């Protein structure tokens, strides 16, 4: 029996294009909101974690790099990464960083802060990214894009590191979106019973 590929098996291309476009024009970072809302909507209106299992562009990218290109050591994921305290703790940390990004965007919107043309990697290292913005939109729109691209780039780097060290889709074990969709699915199942 032949293993036939489906259209969604090529969604890893979206992840690659997203990172490349954001490198040249930071406003493309807004497209990343699709990776934020689609999994949540699918979990709310669907019956399972269909996004994570089939459509996650980042999970597919890591799967491809780790399996086909053999960049993964294929080692078992450590227990602490799979533990509830780590996954929920990382979700809380991630959400704090996300709300901090929204607050920074609000400060630019209100005129309290100036636009910062930086991408922050791993929430610590500030990289000047001024070539990716030419000043053609309202500053708060650009500030959100810089912040959101920082979140997406950081999570991609973390996923890439764990893909190298462990199994290809190790990121999926502690991905904040995966944790949120899992919580939604559990809550729905509990309400249905």
State the pLDDT at residue 60.
95
3-state secondary structure of 75: coil
Please state the separation of Cα 85 from the chain's center in Å: 20
Instruction: List per-block mean pLDDT (blocks of 10 residues) for the chain, which spans 193 residues.
Output: 81 96 96 94 85 93 96 97 96 96 97 94 90 92 96 96 97 96 87 65
Which residues are within 8 A (CB) of 187 and not within 5 positions of it... i.e. 6 or more apart?
Answer: none
Q: What is the pLDDT of residues 48-76, one digit of tens each?
A: 778 998 899 999 999 999 999 999 999 99
Q: Which two structure tokens, joined as six digits, stand for 128?
A: 């000047």
Start-to-end CA span in the chain (Å): 39
What token pair was written down for 61? 């990218």
Tens-place pLDDT, residues 108-130: 999 999 999 999 998 889 998 98
**Residue 42 · residue 28 · CB < 8 Å:** no
Name which of 52, 32, 30 is nearest 42 in CA terms: 52
**Domain boundaries in the chain?**
7-192
Q: Are 61 and 15 in contact (CB under 8 A)?
A: yes
Phi-psi region at 176: left, alpha or beta (left = phi > 0; alpha = psi -120 to 50): alpha
């Amino acid at each position: 029996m032949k293993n036939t590929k489906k259209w969604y098996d090529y969604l890893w291309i979206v992840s690659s294009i997203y990172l490349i476009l954001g490198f040249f024009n930071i406003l493309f970072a807004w497209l990343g909101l699709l990776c934020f809302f689609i999994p949540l909507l699918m979990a709310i209106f669907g019956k399972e974690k269909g996004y994570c299992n089939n459509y996650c562009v980042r999970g597919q990218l890591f799967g491809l790099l780790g399996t086909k290109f053999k960049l993964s050591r294929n080692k078992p994921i450590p227990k602490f990464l799979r533990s509830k305290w780590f996954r929920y703790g990382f979700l809380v940390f991630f959400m704090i960083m996300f709300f901090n990004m929204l607050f920074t965007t609000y400060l630019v919107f209100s005129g309290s802060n100036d636009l910062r043309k930086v991408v922050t990697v791993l929430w610590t290292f500030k990289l000047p990214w001024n070539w990716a913005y030419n000043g053609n939109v309202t500053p708060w729109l650009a500030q959100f894009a810089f912040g959101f691209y920082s979140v997406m780039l950081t999570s991609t780097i973390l996923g890439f590191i764990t893909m190298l060290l462990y199994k290809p889709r190790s990121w999926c074990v502690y991905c904040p979106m995966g944790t949120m969709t899992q919580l939604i699915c559990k809550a729905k199942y509990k309400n249905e019973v």
